[in-house]
Amino acid sequence: MARKFLYAVAILIMLGVASMFAYRLYGIQLMRQFMVPAGDAAELPPVSPRDYARAEMWIARPDKPGNPALWTPAGHTPAANPRAALFFIHPTSFLDTKQWNAPLDNPDANARAELFLRGQASAFNESAAIWAPRYRQATFGAFLTSKAQAQKALDHAYRDVSAAFEEFLHEAGDRPIILAGHSQGALHLSRLLAERVAGTPIAKRVVAAYVVGWPVSLTADLPKMGLPACTGPNQAGCILSWQSFAEPADPALIIDTFDASNGFTGKPRAGTRMLCTNPLTGKPNDSAPASANLGSLIPDLNLQSAHLEAGRVPARCDGRGILKIGATPPDFGQYVLPGNNYHVFDYSLFWANIRADAARRLAAYKP
């Protein structure tokens, strides 16, 4: 499994490097020209919650052999009978430029998504049994355009996520719930919180929601998402979010898009602060030295395994809500997106702290 995890790292690197070189050589306009699909987003037949009763509709679920979310580095093991249930929404793994949404049976997208789970969802396997659905995700190019087709593709993807969530609730029974996602997965998670969790009994079952790698406006989004922002490390029933940048940070590509949109409240996001939880401390708008980092996931030099190294990466919330991780971290520096954006490493930089954070919040949870 360690080797398979490294394949996930390689994919993240590939995406990061490809984006970096394309941006530097061609600029954002040509990236959009090359990577945004032409034509309309196809109408997709809906799936129902009962469709997700089938094991093949999930990348990870507790009863599925070879569950990729059970991977752990040396020194850690998944819990045999965890108390909570986790619903995890994976990031974009579909890179096709000919269609807007991934087919559920696309082997490349599914293989990449499975590998992402090893480096991201695995952080929670000490506290929770993990469900992670396949969904007809929007392709990478949907995030490079304001075309109506892109939103249509994202709506199709969210519809699948919502159906999977309904079945997850059935499968999870009365267990406490942890919600987590990254990038496109975090986008769908934020909408799920606003539309399916807020104002319902489900909200009282949520230990924490990790909306990682996607901006959340404190004033235009959070009031409609059903849970407050986490204010401390021992708090349950709250939302965490961060976006990682090395210094000097240039989050303009994210902020420009963020500022051009409206939040769940209907109010503009322009000029608003984004939720920034420091994953090293579990506190908002906080700063912590590298010595507080319990372990970042790093591939060995021989690329045969992955291991945790503590004390490598600091973190501090800054500006409008960007998480800054100091100068270029060793072993990660050349694999970044434009603007020193460490988006692809939002989980792996803080893997051991996220693991401890989930356990702490679960201990604090009271039904």
Task: Tell me the torsion sign for CA atoms 71, 211, 102, 341.
Answer: negative
In tens digits, the chain (367 residues) has pLDDT values of 333 333 344 344 444 444 444 444 444 554 555 568 887 887 888 899 999 999 999 999 999 999 999 999 999 999 999 999 999 999 999 888 889 999 999 999 998 898 889 989 999 999 999 999 999 999 988 887 778 898 999 999 999 999 999 999 999 999 999 999 999 999 999 999 999 999 999 999 999 999 999 999 999 999 999 999 999 999 999 999 999 999 999 998 889 889 999 999 999 999 999 999 999 999 999 999 999 999 999 866 544 557 899 999 999 999 999 999 999 876 765 557 888 899 989 999 999 999 999 999 999 999 8
Amino acid letter, 31: M
Looking at the DSSP bridge assignments, the partners of residue 210 are: 180, 240
> Do 367 and 177 contact (CB within 8 A), yes or no?
no
d(C-alpha 316, C-alpha 318), whole Å: 6
Q: What CA–CA distance (Å, rounded) separates 254 from 257?
A: 5
Model pLDDT, residue 335: 57
What are the sequence ranges of the domains in the chain? 2-364
Which CA distances in Å does 254 have to 20, 88, 183, 219, 328?
15, 23, 12, 18, 20
Let me know: does 145 contact 36? Beta carbons within 8 Å: yes
pLDDT at 14: 42
Contact 123, 358 (CB under 8 A): yes
> pLDDT value at position 239?
98
Tell which residue, 92, 71, 81, has the closest CA to residue 138: 92
Q: What is the pLDDT of residue 26?
A: 45
- Residue of 232, 47, 19, 13 whose CA lies nearest to 133: 47
Q: What are phi and psi of 92, to 5 degrees?
A: -60, 125
For residues 132 and 59, the answer to whether their CB atoms sit within 8 Å is yes
Instruction: List phi, psi (to 5°) of 129.
Output: -75, 135
